[in-house]
Amino acid sequence: MRKSIRILIVYIVNVILAGIILFPLIYALMISLMKPEDIFQYPPKIIPTSLYLGNYVEALKSVPILRFILNSFIVSSVVTVGQIVTASLAAYAFTYYDFKGKNLIFLMFLSTMMIPGEATIIANYLTIRSLNWIDTYKALIIPNLGTALGIFLMRQFFLTIPKDYYEAAAIDGATKFQFFVKVLLPLSRPAIGSLAIYSFLMTWNQYMWPLLVTNRDEMRTVQIGISMLQMAESQSFGLIMAGVIMIIIPSLVAFIVGQKQLIEGLSAGALKG
């Protein structure tokens, strides 16, 4: 009896906590489905009187949201693949080779985590501008391709793979590169999954860098696009919320599909990092 009351209390508390945490998102969704006259009522309404999709139609007309989503997809996907390539190559050198300066190079790579983006953003902006890369995908992608955390995660995972695999591949006559591509990478799918979901979310949600290196509407990414929509339609709250919902959905889907990998990757980085 006492135990079941305790469980009931735990449920109630969890439901309340979840309600508070999710409230801003539910609120945005509800407002996005309301007619303007519902939104401006007092006391404020939470549930729309009828399902109204007009805000979504209007938001798509107001700013090129689909173009922003396409841009963010291109940039985030290429950065994700690129980070996996550069990180796993570097991690391979750090785990399967001995060479001069290995410890020093590893420490230098890790030290990039200590240099915040703000300490490099002005010089990077000047570089991008002098290369005439403003308003290009190159500017949005290339500076993001290195990841010390990714190298660390991949190396950590490579170390757990028994060296029997390496010896077996060597006996079969595989070169070191063949072993890397055909044996090690397929075995490392969990770590690659963690890095992929992390990179994708981080790039999708980037704000300051794309704000600086893009000017033309057709090169803007979703995060800049949403603030443009907010400025263009400052009083059309339903329309703004419809825009927010549209740009949140891809990152929410990525999170829900990849949450297990994300959590494992973050914990591995935290516990050993």
Partner 1 sequence: MYRIETIHSKESYKVKRHTLGMPLKNFKAEIEPYLYLLPAASIFIAFTFYPFFKTIYISLFMTGPQGGLSKFIGLKNYFDLLASPDFLNSLYVTFEFVLLTVPFSIIISLVLAIFANLDIKGKSVFRTFYALPISISSASAAVIWTLLFNPSIGFINYLLSFFGIPAIGWLTDVKWGIVAVSIVTIWLNLGMNFIFLLGGLQNIPKDLYESAQIDGANVFLQHVKITIPMLSPTLFFVTVVDIINAFQQFGVINIMTQGGPVDSTNVIVYSIYRDAFFNFRFGVASAESIILFVILLILTVLQFKTGERRVFYR
Using CB under 8 A as the binding rule, whether residue 106 contacts partner 1 is answered as: yes
Q: 237, 232, 236: which is closest to 220 by C-alpha? A: 232
Separation CA 147–CA 89 (nearest Å): 12
Q: Strand, helix or coil at 247?
A: helix
Q: Which of 55, 59, 247, 261 binds partner 1 (CB under 8 A)?
A: 247
- Minimal distance in Å, beta carbon 189 to partner 1? 19
Separation CA 259–CA 273 (nearest Å): 20
Count residues binding partner 1 (CB under 8 A): 100
Using CB under 8 A as the binding rule, whether residue 173 contacts partner 1 is answered as: no
Using CB under 8 A as the binding rule, whether residue 105 contacts partner 1 is answered as: yes
Written as six digits, the tokens of 45 are 């309404």
- The answer to whether 240 and 73 have CB atoms below 8 angstroms apart is no
Per-residue binder mask for partner 1 (CB under 8 A), 177-216, x = binder: ------------------------x--xx-xx--xx----
In this complex, which beta carbon is closest to partner 1, that of residue 74 or of residue 121? 121
- The answer to whether 150 and 195 have CB atoms below 8 angstroms apart is yes
Per-residue binder mask for partner 1 (CB under 8 A), 112-151, x = binder: x-xxxxxxxxxxxxxx-x------------xx-xxxx--x
Using CB under 8 A as the binding rule, whether residue 62 contacts partner 1 is answered as: no
> What is each CA distance from 140 to 73, 129, 246, in whole angstroms?
12, 12, 21
Of 4-12, 58-66, 73-81, 185-193, which part binds partner 1 (CB under 8 A)? 4-12
Which of the residues 64 through 83 are near partner 1 (CB under 8 A)? none
In this complex, which beta carbon is closest to partner 1, that of residue 62 or of residue 124? 124
Separation CA 68–CA 247 (nearest Å): 9
Residue 212: CB atoms within 10 Å: 17
Q: Which of 66, 108, 168, 232 binds partner 1 (CB under 8 A)?
A: 108
